[in-house]
Structures are given as structure tokens and as C-alpha cells.
Amino acid sequence: MTELQRLDAHHAAALLRFERDNRAYFARSVPDRGDDYFAGFAARHAELLAEQAASRHHFHVLVDDEGTVLARFNLVDVTDGGAELGFRVAERASGRGVAKDGVRRTCELARDEYGLRRLIASATLENAGSLAVLRGTGFAPVGEVLLDGRPGLRHVRELTDVA
């Protein structure tokens, strides 16, 4: 059984383990966070929680029964009824519908809990899995973008009909 939880201070160790264990896997399709992210993780985690408390962002982790982080789903840069969605799924959980289910659940939270009306999400062209998740959860491509120098597509999802 998995649970989508709002990021909290008690998630720090499990989230750091998730990021470290999957770093090479993530770097194949999304920009690497860099060594500074890991070296300053505790301070950065505290900053993110403060920004979340100010409703600038909404961070979530998908955890299993043991508290292991399987994925993260983030709503960042909340403004004017919208936010940008980002997500990462552990290599061991990929290909099992975790991302699609998590994105759906995050869209519901965005609309019902945070009052958002629109989400934007981007993925590199080489990240076929994320592109499929976005299209399978109602996001529509709206243009090309560069993500850390990699070509990608930006998508938009109106939250009036979350399903």
C-alpha cells in the first residue's frame, strides 16, 4: 500500500536516500541536481519546508508501508491559480503506474486542497515515460522548451475536470 503525503521534516532521511539511490537513473532523463544538492541537503530541505509553509510550493512524497520514498510530486511556483508540476519515480517503482497514479492524485490535491486551476509540466523529448504520463493524465503539449540544454515539451492541464 502506498500513501501520498505532504512533505514534512520527518521525510528528510528517506527523501535523501531516494535521491541518492536514484541519482544516476534520474540523470538519464532529467537534469542532475549536482553535488551541492546532496552536500547541503538538510539546509535545502528546511528551506523547502519554509517555502511550503508560505504556500509558494506544495511538495509531496509517495511512501510505502515502511516509509520508503517511491516517488515525489511537486507543485512549485504557485501563483495566480497555477503551478508547475514536477515528479520523479524511483527506478524500482518505474513502469508500474506509480507516476500516472501520483500525477492524478496530485492534480486532485492541487484543485481540491490548494485551489489551483491550472498546472504546467515539462519533460525532455528523451523522457518518453514522463511524456506518456503527462498525456495520459490530461496534459496537452503547448510548446517546445529547453530543459538544462535538452529539448523538451511544455504541457498544460486545466484542473476543472480532474479525473
Q: What is the pLDDT of residue 161?
A: 60
116 compared with 30, residue with greater pLDDT: 116
The total of structural domains in the chain comes to 1
pLDDT higher than threshold 60 for residue 160: yes
Residue with cell 508500474: 96
* pLDDT tops 80 at residue 162: no
Q: Which residues contact 135 (CB under 8 A, 6 or more apart)?
A: 141, 155
Residue 143: domain span: 3-161
Q: Is pLDDT at 57 greater than 80 in this prediction?
A: yes
Which contacts (CB < 8 Å, 24+ apart) does range 78-82 have? Answer: 78/114, 78/116, 81/115, 81/116, 81/117, 81/118, 82/116, 82/117, 82/118, 82/119, 82/120
Q: What is the pLDDT of residue 31?
A: 75
- β-bridge partners, 31: none
The pTM of the full predicted model, rounded to 2 decimals, is 0.92
Q: Name the percent of the chain lying above pLDDT 90.
A: 86
pLDDT tens per residue across span 78-103: 999 999 999 999 999 999 999 999 99
**Cα–Cα distance for residue pair 149/128, rounded to 1 Å:** 17
For range 48-63, the mean pLDDT:
96
Alpha-carbon distances, residue 48 vs 45, 58, 69, 84, 88 (angstroms): 5, 9, 17, 15, 17
CATH code, domain carrying 129: 3.40.630.30
Collapsing DSSP to helix, strand or coil, 163 comes out as: coil
